[in-house]
Amino acid sequence: MMVNEFLLKKISTSKIFIFILLLSILIFFNISDQSTSYGKRNNLYEDSADSYSHYIVRNSIINDLIGFENKNGPLILTKRYSYLDSEGLTKEDFNYYNDNTTLYTHSRTYQRKIYTKLIKASPLYKLEIKKETLDKLNTLFTKAKIFPNSRIDFKIEIHLQFFRYLNTLILAIILTIFAVSLNGKNNLGLIMSCLMSLITGITIYSSNLYVPSWQLLIPLLYFPILKNYTSIKICFFLNLIGSFIYFSSNYLFAATFGFLSLLPVILISVKENRLIKKLILTTFLGFMLGFFIAVYFHVNEVSNELNIKNQEAISNIFESASTRIFSLYPIPFGLSFFKTILTNQLTDGFKIPLLFTLPKSIILYIFIFLFFKLVQTNYKFLFWWGFLTYVINYIFNYSHMMHHNIYDSLLFGVSIQLTLFIYFFINALKIKKYTKEKIKKLFEIN
């Protein structure tokens, strides 16, 4: 009973705010020590998941502030993003260079413009500091591994690091709001939020400036609203706004985001033991309208910046989309396909610092076991949703997924692992009671 009382103990709103702040700090400083070689590149760069995309936004912000060309328009690629060295080998250098930049129009990434405006309005950025002092501060923070090995001055760098932290704060807010709305304002909800923040895919993308994991989890915020107000109009506008925000940033994982938008409806369906088709249709319509509005603004921006027709702008924006959708390399279900899938499943899925790490393969086995066990119950909606949310991006983004296992970690985390977390925490007290009885019987037999 003492454990039950602790789990269900009510938590005040002020304590939840403190919890969110602490959780965001722990995520930002990567307390679980999770990263990928693709992200850090031998510790040359700061992002744990995908420095290639992260530095596109980072360099575009810096260019808006101190650059001489291609300012305040589409994103940019710096001149050494991909180059040949003296031996003719392809190399990458993501650091900022102010000359020979090229435009990158594949995503709008509207948050970059917000970041730039916030820096320009910041009193710290306007503060006059001697160059010698700035150099000393930069050296100090670089040695302390708070800043990356960059040549950017302290005033800009500290803002960029704040925006990285801001992404982790928003993530902590979303996870906590969802967990508390699912379990109540109690310790059980906070424990769920804390453990979800340790999912590898969610953790490593938490502070990425291009595609932070919180953006993909925007639909989790629909649940506490729809749980209390199951209205078609509210459902439509939530999905319209959420979809517009997401696609104003990027188009990666569009199909997965669409399925994540269905999660609140799926959870309501689990409770009522029937699929609510009207809300599913409403979700789809809101999602699609938000997508088209975001594309409309993006096309107009590119068209005006490059002085080209809208049709050309569309081709410019989505030039790589057909390759990602229709490319079938490696051949599906061939040797390379299974090798890639196996490699992906052997990577970390969940990690508690200093205690243990679970590979994705073990988590997948648990999911499959429960999937077949619960297929005749109301939880079939949830587990079918988890399965489809995971595989959908392999269908619509096959080539990209086959060549970037970092994406698999993120999508596995927000589908398969999220499904398991929801199931286990909804049934936490039942599972605890069942486990206790099984252990008691085991000891009685012995």
Strand pairing report for 102-104 and 90-91: unpaired
> Is residue 439 over pLDDT 70?
no
Determine the pLDDT at residue 381: 94
Residue 177: CB atoms within 10 A of its CB come to 18
Mean pLDDT (the chain, rounded): 87
Determine the pLDDT at residue 184: 87
Query: 0.75 cut: is pTM over it?
Result: yes
Q: Please, which pLDDT band fits residue 338 given cuts at 50, 70 and 90?
A: confident
> Is residue 306 over pLDDT 60?
yes
> Is residue 177 over pLDDT 60?
yes
Q: Do 75 and 96 form a contact (C-beta atoms < 8 A)?
A: no
Determine the pLDDT at residue 441: 65
Lowest average pLDDT, out of 44-58, 81-95, 241-255, goes to: 81-95
Give whichever of 10-19, 80-89, 400-409, 429-438 has the largest mean pLDDT: 10-19
Q: Do 195 and 32 form a contact (C-beta atoms < 8 A)?
A: no
For residue 276, give the amino acid letter.
Answer: I
Q: Please, which pLDDT band fits residue 159 given cuts at 50, 70 and 90?
A: very high
Determine the pLDDT at residue 394: 85
Q: Mean pLDDT throughout 259-265?
A: 96
Determine the pLDDT at residue 288: 97
Residue 112 and residue 31: Cα distance in Å, rounded? 27
| Alpha-carbon distances of 143 from 29, 52, 149, 156, rounded to whole Å | 16, 23, 9, 17
> Is residue 400 over pLDDT 80?
no
Lowest average pLDDT, out of 194-208, 278-292, 385-399, 428-442, goes to: 428-442
Determine the pLDDT at residue 325: 64
Q: Please, which pLDDT band fits residue 316 given cuts at 50, 70 and 90?
A: confident
Lowest average pLDDT, out of 192-206, 263-277, 325-339, goes to: 325-339
Q: Which residues are paired to 359 by β-bridges?
A: 348
Q: What percent of the chain has pLDDT over 70?
A: 91
Q: Please, which pLDDT band fits residue 434 given cuts at 50, 70 and 90?
A: low
> Is residue 326 over pLDDT 70?
no
Q: Do 41 and 61 form a contact (C-beta atoms < 8 A)?
A: no
Q: Please, which pLDDT band fits residue 446 given cuts at 50, 70 and 90?
A: low
Tell me the pLDDT tens digit for each residue of 134-154.
Answer: 777 777 776 666 666 666 778
Determine the pLDDT at residue 171: 97
Determine the pLDDT at residue 185: 87
Q: Mean pLDDT throughout 388-404?
A: 83
Residue 439: CB atoms within 10 A of its CB come to 10
Q: Please, which pLDDT band fits residue 45 given cuts at 50, 70 and 90?
A: confident
Residue 338 and residue 390: Cα distance in Å, rounded? 16
